[in-house]
Amino acid sequence: MDAIHIPQLTQAPEQTEEITVQEFLPGLETLTPVRGSLRIQHRVNYLEVTGQAEAIITCTCNRCLQQYNHRLAVNAKEIIWLDESAGKEEDLPLEREVAIEDLVETISPNGYFHPGEWLYEQMCLAIPLRQLCDRRCQGIQPVSSDSKNDKPEKPVDKRWASLEVLKNQLPE
C-alpha cells in the first residue's frame, strides 16, 4: 500500500480515500492475504481512519503446544490528530511524566499517512494474548513409562525429591 500525502487528501472527493486491501502485510505471518477495506477521511485538524480486515493466522496453543488456525478479524476506528510539531525531535529527559492528554496519535499535516503500517498495527493488536486450541484443552499430559505396576506412578520432579522423603517421614 502506498503512503498517502496528507495535503493531497484534502483535494480528494469528499476529502476521503478508500483503499481495498487484498495482500500479505510485511512482518505479519498469515496463511491468507489480509482482505478488507480502509477509509481515510481528512477532517480539517484530524484524520479519521476506519478499517475492516481479516486473515487467518497459525497460533500455538499455550497449554498443549499444538498448532491451530485462528481467524483474525479487525474492525477499528481511530482519530489521528494533525499537529505541526508531530515527529519533530525534542530534547526531553529520558524519563518524564506523561499527561493523559498526551497519549494521542499525531501526524504532521504536511506529512504522509501509511495505511499499511496502520493496518499492521491493528492486526497485531487483534492477535489473542491467550492462545488456546480449545477451551477444554488439558495441556500436555505426562505419560508413565513404567508399565510393570498396575498403579500409575505420579511424576515427581527431581528437585522436590528431598521434600518427598521428608514428607514420607511425617506421621499421618
3-state class (DSSP) for residue 123: helix
Q: 3: closest CA among 38, 29, 32?
A: 38
* pTM, rounded to two decimals: 0.74
**pLDDT for res 97:** 77
**pLDDT for res 171:** 80
Question: Residue 18 and residue 158: Cα distance in Å, rounded?
Answer: 61
**pLDDT for res 169:** 87
Q: Which residues pair with 69 in a beta bridge?
A: 58
Q: 67: closest CA among 126, 134, 124, 163?
A: 134
Average pLDDT along the chain, 172 residues, taken 10 residues at a time:
91 93 94 96 94 96 92 95 72 71 82 94 94 88 61 66 84 76
Question: Residue 44 and residue 81: Cα distance in Å, rounded?
Answer: 10
**pLDDT for res 92:** 63
**pLDDT for res 157:** 72
Q: Which three cell numbers stand for residue 140?
A: 500436555
3-state class (DSSP) for residue 159: helix
**pLDDT for res 89:** 59
Strands of 16-23's sheet, edge to edge? Answer: 16-23, 34-42, 46-60, 67-82, 106-107
DSSP label of 32 = S
Rounded to 5°, the CA angle 77-121-41 comes to 35
